[in-house]
Structure 1
Amino acid sequence: MLRTMPLTKNLTLEQINHLIDTGHAFISPFGLNRTAYIVINHKPFMVVVTDVSINAIQLSGSWYNWDELEKMGGVFESEFEALKAVAGGA
């Protein structure tokens, strides 16, 4: 059975290139079970990243697509980044 596995240093460059070529490699902007901040009505709120997919992210159990989050104000790794975006410095 195939299952999701993290990339490791044990993979060869050929294996990594194959994963990229076949669309199996992605960059996840946020780690699972880590805190993040979303901006709602110009205020940052702390959430927990519970899942990340290609088109969406699950924050504290609620799914948001990336475009929807961008329109709301964004999702950030730190409260400082969120406050900076609210202040117009992002």
Structure 2
Amino acid sequence: MMKTVPLSKTLSIDQLNHLIDTGHVYVTPLGLNRTAYIVVNHKPFMVITTDISINGIQLSGAWYTWEDIEAMGGVYDSEFDALKAIANGV
């Protein structure tokens, strides 16, 4: 049985290229079960990243499409980044 495993340095370049070619490798903006910040009413709001998919992200149990997140002003790794985005007019 195959199971989900994180990428590691034990994979060869050929194996990694095969995973990329077959659509198994994605770059996610945030890690799972980590805090993140979204901008709500021009204030940073802390959430937990509970799941990430190709079409959206689940933050504290609520699903958002990437377009919804972009319209809200984005999702940020730190409160400082969210505050900086607010100051820049997001």
Judge same fold: TM > 0.5, yes or no: yes
Which residue in 2 is equivalent to 1:63? 63
Which residue in 2 is equivalent to 1:30? 30
- Report SS of the residue matched to 1:16: helix
Which residue in 2 is equivalent to 1:18? 18
The percent of aligned pairs where both chains have the same amino acid is: 66
Which residue in 1 is equivalent to 2:8? 8
Cα distance per residue 1:44-74 (max 9 Å; x no partner): 1000000111111110000011110110111
Letter in 1 for 2:54: I
Report the aligned-residue RMSD.
1.2
Aligned residues: 90
Contiguous gaps of at least 5 residues in structure 2: none
Cα distance change of structure 1 residues 80 and 89 upon mapping to structure 2, 3 Å threshold: farther
Shift of 1:6: 0.6
Which residue in 1 is equivalent to 2:76? 76
Shift of 1:89: 6.5
Letter in 2 for 1:52: I
TM-score of the pair, normalised by structure 1: 0.94
Contiguous gaps of at least 5 residues in structure 1: none
TM-score of the pair, normalised by structure 2: 0.94
